[in-house]
Amino acid sequence: MDRHDAREGRTLMEETVMAERSVSGTRQPADYGDVAGAVLHALPDEEHRGANRLSVALITDPESFGALLAAFRRVEAAHLRVGRCFLTLDDPNQCLYTSGHARAKHDLDGDIAYPDDDTDDALAAYDAAVFESAGAALRDPDRAVRWEGVGNSLVTAPSDIEALVALNRDPGLVLDDVHVVQCLPTTDDTDLLADLPNGYFACDWTPFECHAVARRMGERHGYSLIGIGASTLGFHSIVEPGQRDVDALIADLRELYGHRDVDAWNELADLLRGRRCSSSDTRRTSRT
């Protein structure tokens, strides 16, 4: 996908052995076992790399979106007492590359210097400090973006709304060869954006705008941020399907993406209403 395509604002929504640490604080890999339809690699591992020292697993070659979620839930269950788990979605290499640029562009890591000592403990401390710095920046009221300031911040076309419908209809569109699972020391789902901020290109939402969208989805619509990709934010439902006001959700999405009169909005509303009978429905919206 061209990084300058307006669709790179997409957002995904979905309706789910304790990992041990050594005395020194260096994380030891967990044994996640096998999951049908996907391969799980525990991190740290000399043969595999994650995003940073907060990465706890790789999920490779998922055969379906359901298999990806099953593998993710397996990892999540192993870290319930450690922190909150998230995963990368589409195009992890591009996601991680632009995340670093977004962090620098928006000064999310402050003056934290990369350690001269590259031991595991030093690098773990560095990654934790960068995460805390970015989280503080995103929550800074002087820098935060209000929901009302996000609408119409992207240039979109009616085809982008159609892409949003397609994404919600077929969650497998975000599958990649590799998905990284992060375990963050937080209970706040929006803190994923502190670990893997995105919003480097002019056509993207900024990290602060992404944060405003994530807050809105959680506070108003009962969705919790679960993943991020090069062009996608992923959410899962934390309320019963029948408790959600689909009309209010569609109204907010129209405010975000414009083109309020295109038929695709009605298709999306029908799609979301059709999932009310499911306790594990998967929803996506687009960052565009």
The whole-number pLDDT of residue 9 equals 53
- The secondary structure of residue 28, as a DSSP letter, is P
Is residue 206 within 8 A of residue 199, CB to CB? The reply is yes
Token pair recorded at residue 111 = 């003056």
| Any domain includes 1 | no
Per the domain annotation, does 275 fall within a domain?
Answer: yes
* Residue 82 DSSP SS3: coil
Please give the pLDDT value at position 274.
81
Is residue 61 in some structural domain? yes
Taking the alpha carbons at both ends of the chain, their separation in whole angstroms is 14
Which residues are CB-contacts of 144 (< 8 A; sequence separation ≥ 6)?
138, 208, 211, 212
Distance CA(201)–CA(181), nearest Å, equals: 24
3 state SS of 55: strand
Separation of alpha carbons 44 and 181, rounded Å: 12
Q: Please determine, for residue 153, whether its predicted confidence score (pLDDT) is greater than 70.
A: yes
Can you give the pTM of this predicted structure? Answer: 0.86
Are the C-beta atoms of residues 170 and 233 closer than 8 Å to each other? no
Q: Is the pLDDT of residue 82 over 70?
A: yes
Q: Confidence class of residue 275 from pLDDT cuts 50, 70 and 90?
A: low
pLDDT above 60 for 288: no
pLDDT tens digits, 33-66: 999 999 999 999 888 889 999 999 999 999 999 9
Place of tokens 């979905």: 14
The full DSSP string for 114-172 is PPS--SHHHHHHHHHHHHHHHHHHHH-TTT---GGGTTT-S---HHHHHHHHHHHH-GG
Pairing status of strand 223-228 against strand 10-14: unpaired
Q: Using the predicted structure, report yes or no on whether residue 163 has a pLDDT greater than 80.
A: yes
Instruction: Output b/e per residue, 141-172; b: 16+ Cβ within 10 A.
Output: eebebebeebeeebebbeebbbbbbebbeebe
Strands 232-237 and 10-14: parallel
Which residue is associated with the tokens 């919600």? Answer: 168
In which domain, by residue range, is 141 found?
A: 6-285
Average pLDDT over the chain reads 86
Question: Given pLDDT bands bounded at 50, 70 and 90, which one contains residue 27?
Answer: low
How many domains in the chain? 1
Residue 134 in any domain: the answer is yes
